[in-house]
């Protein structure tokens, strides 16, 4: 990923990024950081880039011309794809959060614009800026430190930047909870012992202990986050009454990847922005209409579990039913045995193999799955013999086994492997299986998954987004 930083202080950016993990990531070609000196673009003979604000007031403003020309030099440069997302770092922006860092990490190029003095002439901001982002409710002397904060937070989400991929997965702000306390050797220090649960070797006990401490901390230090977390868990708890029918919503709420938009008892509408999908759970037309009245502005993909809604959505909302699926759900908490041992993260070099063999092999979607570490390969004698992965809503799927290897039970091994991954993340393992795919449904049932009594429906409007 390439960061271009428009700044009056390029050295500050250069020095700030030339250490530790960012330095290594640059050396390994995973990120590039290019400071662009705005002063180089001024048309003023004395190198001036600022002037007094019209209407009076304290301080100076950066003028439009040098900022615009510096920005345009990037747009015109070879190799920069246009248009590039341009983020103005400013205390007047939306808050920089972990989910925004995640979203930005999916860009190939990013321009960060750093202000100085009292800010920048609004007219150039209107022309070039796509996002205004603040790193917190305080005012710094310039945008360079916030730009570096963003580069750091975004870079560590890029695959390969951190040595241990795991460490980017479980961390503070996962599911709106702060991270639990951590301990290393020795077992006793200054008379303080490491909590007994962490020494027990019992994974379930350890998981529970960590969750409880994370909840305690969040309640104490970030009651705002805790409220969001608790609201989701409360609804998920209600929906558990019909676990097999509501699995997708319960899973997404429990894992914190969906935000509730509206609820009335167990009738819920939520948004999963990572998957670009609006999810509904309801069991009457009246409730369905009530939920649809709370649709956000921009949506194109809906997932729901109440068949009569299809008529409303197609006739009144211009949607098309893209898939009618059975929902196959693993209702227990114990992991499944995985017969085939050699299952690993799918390597990016093998993307063409996945595109060729997966029936809905959309290259961009598969590339994104691989990048996020959501696709897994089963190897036989060092060769990829099949693969399976999580879709962006969290459902299990993308299953393929090479016909040469069909006797080795790779399909069920890959599926069990995914079930265990979903359990580790604290959600419910579920799969959406097209109604005519009886073979797949049978395999899931044999593995111990249950099929919900109600089908689920994927509907799209306009651009189709994720399509299974």
Which residues lie near ligand ADE (CB under 6 A)? 89-91, 134-136, 138-140, 143, 146
Nearest to residue 370, comparing CAs of 343, 390, 385, 400?
390
Neighbours of 451 (CB within 10 A): 16
Residue 95 to residue 135: CA distance in whole angstroms: 6
- Of residues 136 and 448, the one with the C-beta less far from ligand ADE: 136
Give the total residue count for the chain: 468
Q: How far is CA 171 from CA 248, 358, 368, 424, 425, in A?
A: 23, 32, 21, 14, 12
* Cβ at position 155, least distance to ligand ADE in Å: 18
To ligand ADE, the closest distance from the beta carbon of 140 in angstroms equals 4
Residue nearer to ligand ADE on the CB measure, 116 or 232: 116
Q: What value does the CA radius of gyration of the chain take, rounded to a whole number of Å?
A: 25
Q: Between vectors from CA 67 to CA 62 and to CA 72, what angle results, nearest 5°?
A: 170
- Closest contact distance (angstroms) between CB of 36 and ligand ADE is 17
């Amino acid at each position: 990923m390439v960061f271009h930083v428009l700044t009056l202080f390029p050295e500050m950016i250069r020095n700030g990024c030339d250490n530790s993990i960012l330095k290594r990531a640059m050396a390994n070609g995973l990120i590039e950081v290019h400071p662009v000196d705005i002063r180089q673009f001024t048309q003023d003979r004395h190198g001036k880039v600022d002037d007094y604000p019209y209407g009076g007031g304290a301080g100076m403003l950066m003028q439009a011309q040098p900022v615009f020309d510096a920005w345009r030099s990037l747009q015109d440069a070879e190799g920069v794809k246009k248009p590039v997302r341009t983020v103005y770092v400013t205390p007047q922006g939306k808050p920089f959060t972990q989910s925004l860092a995640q979203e930005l990490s999916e860009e190939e190029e990013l321009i960060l614009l750093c202000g100085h003095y009292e800010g920048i002439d609004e007219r150039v901001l209107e022309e070039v800026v796509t996002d205004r982002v603040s790193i917190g409710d305080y005012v710094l002397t310039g945008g360079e430190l916030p730009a570096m904060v963003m580069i750091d937070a975004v870079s560590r989400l890029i695959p390969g930047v951190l040595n241990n991929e795991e460490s980017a997965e479980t961390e503070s702000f996962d599911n709106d909870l702060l991270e639990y306390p951590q301990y290393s050797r020795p077992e006793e220090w200054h008379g303080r012992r490491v909590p007994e649960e962490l020494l027990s070797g019992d994974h379930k006990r350890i998981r529970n202990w960590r969750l409880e401490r994370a909840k305690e901390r969040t309640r104490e230090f970030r009651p705002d986050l805790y409220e969001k977390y608790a609201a989701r868990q409360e609804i998920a708890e209600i929906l558990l009454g019909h676990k097999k029918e509501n699995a997708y919503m319960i899973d997404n709420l429990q894992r914190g990847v969906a935000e509730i938009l509206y609820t009335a008892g167990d009738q819920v509408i939520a948004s999963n922005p990572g998957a670009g999908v609006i999810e509904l759970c309801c069991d009457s037309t009246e409730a369905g209409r009530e939920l649809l009245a709370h649709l956000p502005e921009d949506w194109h993909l809906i997932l729901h579990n109440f068949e009569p809604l299809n008529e409303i959505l197609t006739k009144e909302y211009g949607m098309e039913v893209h898939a009618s699926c059975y929902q196959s759900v693993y209702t227990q908490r114990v992991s499944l045995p995985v017969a085939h041992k050699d299952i690993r993260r799918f390597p990016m070099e093998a993307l063409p193999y996945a595109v060729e063999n997966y029936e809905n092999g959309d290259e961009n979607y598969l590339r994104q799955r691989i990048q996020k570490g959501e696709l897994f390969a089963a190897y036989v004698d060092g060769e990829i013999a099949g693969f399976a992965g999580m879709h962006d809503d969290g459902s299990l799927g993308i299953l393929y086994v090479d016909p040469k290897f069909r006797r080795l039970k790779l399909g069920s091994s890959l599926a069990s492997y995914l079930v265990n991954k979903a359990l580790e993340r604290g959600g419910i393992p579920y799969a959406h299986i097209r109604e005519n795919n009886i073979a797949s449904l049978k395999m899931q049932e044999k593995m111990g998954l249950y099929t919900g009594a109600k089908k689920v429906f994927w509907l799209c409007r306009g651009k189709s987004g994720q399509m299974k």
